[in-house]
Chain A
Amino acid sequence: MSGTRTERTFQATGSWAGPELVERICERFESAVLGQSEAFGEREVTVRREIWPTLARWLKEDEGFEYLLDLTAVDYLGLRPVRFEVVAHFYSLSGNRRLRVCVPLQEERAELPTLTGLWKAADWYEREIWDLYGIRFAGHPDLRRLLLYDEFKGHPLRKDYKMKARQPLIGPGTMGGAASQSREDEADV
């Protein structure tokens, strides 16, 4: 009995887009599609940065992906030739379909056009990515740090951010409280 239940749950969450959508994307964007894959029923497309806003608009307006589920990034430092990848999950409420789109980004051009014009939800996602990975979003109305404070130096989820690095404390009466400590820590990493 428990076996059937597990299977049913898996099917219920496995509402991913089929290969025909990927075919349509390839047809429309041709050489801008760098690759596609399917694992555990999850559909993924990797595309060039140039078509990012066009693809997103097309998915939203023509393919019914009305909902931006998630927007995040990965740092593949030392693992892949192209360092960063921005990852978006789109969801179609009307069609109950999901699609993952990845955009590889070179370190020296870590910037993408914003999606805030299409989804208001992209605002904080993009601020979070800027905050933690240092990837800029051109055209964003207010690209400030989201989670960390303004005085923070660097982007801590980048793999070359020193694990033991500590930033000076902020606020009144804490002038450089942890600063000396951070220098020691950085020295032994």
Chain B
Amino acid sequence: MELSPVQRSLELAEPFVTTKLDKVLGWGRKYSIFNYPFVTACCGMEYMSAACSRYDMDRFGAGLPRFSPRQSDVLLVVGTITHKMAPVLKQVYDQMCEPKWVVAFGACTISGGPYNNYAVLQGIDQIIPVDIYIPGCPPHAEVVMDGLIKLQAKIQHQKHEV
């Protein structure tokens, strides 16, 4: 009797899974985040705390900061962005390859935070698109983890162009 491929595989005891390409790409991408820490202010301390061994972002597959935008796929904007700094941030964002995501880390990047004045950009979403906003001044490392997990859920469920 001719066996179907599925039956044959079961006979041979070869494990297999079925999935969609989109899902497997999403799964791969969400657990291999190379982040670019664009650190300009005090939130950087909290980023360091989240990245280092106590909270350990590496548990979620985001343990490899890259200091070149061309090698990274998540732009972590950590700290106050001034009007003078805005073109630099925009250029760093433009240099990153697709697919790419942006995290607004802390109150300053979301809305300017406490600095409602002539010098500070009132939210980085005025110049680049933002995927996840992590609130706090600065955000606690656990909130950073929560934001990271939400970003991973977003990556998993989005359409991945091949």
Contacts and interface: CB of A to CB of B under 8 A. Distances in A.
Interface size grouping (class) on chain A: 10 to 19
Contact of B86 (A156, A164, A165, A174): A174
A76 B118 CA distance: 20
A166 interface: yes
A165 B118 contact: yes
A174 B90 contact: yes
Contacts of A163: 117
Interface string A153-173: 000100001011111011111
Interface of B: 83-84, 86-87, 90-91, 116-119, 121-122, 126-127
A83 to B, nearest CB: 20
A148 interface: yes
Contacts of A178: 122, 126
A172 B83 CA distance: 13
Contacts of A165: 118
B121 A169 contact: yes
B84 A156 contact: no
Contact of A171 (B87, B116, B119, B122): B87
B104 to A, nearest CB: 16
A165 B83 CA distance: 13
A169 B86 CA distance: 8
A162 B122 CA distance: 16
A149 B90 CA distance: 16
Of listed B83, B90, B119, residue having the most chain A CB within 10 A: B83
